[in-house]
């Protein structure tokens, strides 16, 4: 049995992870901005957390840590998204994305590392996104924030090779959740972008509806939790998005990558 701190446990990928981990006998401290959204499950402890509020991050983690005694695993999963032309995206929206998807999650990593390093063991799983490498049009802030967290994760992997703490970059492709329903969109799109925005959103919705369920990600997380030496980066999703596309794009020049992504999103 391991003690696990999991953000974004009330829906989507986080909820699937929480359900599977507690079913396997692990103790999970799952966060949500609203504890009423968390299911009542044995071994699932609710923690109020708003990643946009920096002081509350310290309070939430330290309160949970005092109750748990220690954490074997931190899973940074909570997320949010904006869908707008990058040219018109307000700086406040970009800042919000980076606070939730980068700064808040780095803050949790630093809090967890203080205690894991003292115990000379632990696992941190950062759920980034394949969009960090294959960006989605009109989600520039989300793509960039996920890429920043992926890069920060790799930097920490370089700096902590012998610490006993393992850090994993888990990159889901499209996964069938309610994430799109929570994505913030500008209802007054500039006419110059209107057709492309509408077309791209239709494809994003189609891909989401045809994607694997979040249970696929949960099973990979369980494998990581149980692994002695987990891989530093893992992609998860359908075969084309998670395996074939990243492999092909790795060897292509940027101009060809852009052409391929435009074709994929019919731009």
Q: pLDDT of 207-234, one tens digit each?
A: 888 989 999 999 999 999 999 999 999 9
Say how far apart CA 5 and CA 140 lie, in whole Å.
29
110, 150, 191, 237 from 154: Cα distances, Å: 15, 6, 40, 21
Choose the catalytic residue: 3, 19, 146, 193.
Answer: 146
Task: List, in order of start, the domains of the chain with CATH numbers.
Answer: 3-264 (3.40.50.720)
At 97 the pLDDT is 93
At 161 the pLDDT is 82
At 108 the pLDDT is 98
At 177 the pLDDT is 84
At 188 the pLDDT is 66
At 187 the pLDDT is 61
Q: Among this protein's residues, is 142 annotated catalytic?
A: yes
Give burial (CB, 10 Å; 0-12/13-18/19+) of 175.
Answer: buried
- The per-residue DSSP string of 20-45 comes to HHHHTT-EEEEEESSGGGS---TTEE
* Positions of the chain with pLDDT under 70: 187-189
104 — alpha (psi -120 to 50), left (phi > 0) or beta? alpha
At 58 the pLDDT is 95
Q: Among this protein's residues, is 3 annotated catalytic?
A: no
pTM of this prediction exceeds 0.75: yes
Choose the catalytic residue: 142, 188, 193, 243.
Answer: 142
Going 178 to 184 to 187 to 190, the CA torsion angle's sign is negative
At 242 the pLDDT is 82
Q: Could you tell me if 217 and 172 are in contact, meaning their C-beta atoms sit under 8 angstroms apart?
A: yes
Say how far apart CA 263 and CA 267 lie, in whole Å.
6
Say how far apart CA 232 and CA 165 lie, in whole Å.
12
């Amino acid at each position: 049995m391991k003690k696990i701190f999991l953000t974004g446990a009330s829906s989507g990928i986080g909820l699937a992870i929480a359900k599977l981990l507690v079913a396997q006998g692990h103790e999970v401290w799952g966060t949500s901005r609203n504890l009423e959204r968390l299911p009542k499950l044995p071994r699932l402890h609710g923690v109020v957390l708003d990643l946009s509020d920096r002081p509350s991050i310290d309070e939430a983690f330290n309160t949970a840590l005092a109750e748990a005694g220690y954490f074997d695993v931190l899973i940074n999963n909570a997320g949010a998204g904006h869908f707008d032309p990058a040219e018109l995206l307000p700086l406040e929206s970009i800042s919000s994305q980076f606070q939730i998807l980068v700064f808040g999650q780095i803050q949790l990593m630093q809090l967890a590392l203080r205690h894991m390093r003292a115990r000379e063991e632990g696992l941190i799983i950062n759920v980034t996104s394949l969009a960090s490498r294959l960006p989605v049009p009109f989600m520039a802030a989300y793509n960039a924030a996920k890429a920043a967290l992926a890069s920060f994760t790799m930097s920490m992997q370089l700096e902590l090779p012998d610490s006993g703490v393992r850090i994993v970059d888990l990159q889901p492709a499209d996964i069938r959740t309610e994430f799109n329903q929570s994505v913030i969109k500008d209802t007054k799109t500039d006419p110059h972008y209107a057709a492309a925005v509408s077309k791209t959103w239709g494809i994003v919705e189609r891909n989401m509806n045809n994607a694997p369920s979040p249970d696929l990600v949960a099973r990979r997380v369980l494998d990581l939790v149980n692994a002695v030496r987990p891989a530093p980066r893992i992609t998860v999703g359908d075969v084309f998005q998670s395996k074939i596309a990243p492999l092909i794009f790795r060897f292509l020049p940027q101009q060809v990558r852009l052409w391929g992504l435009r074709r994929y999103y019919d731009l």
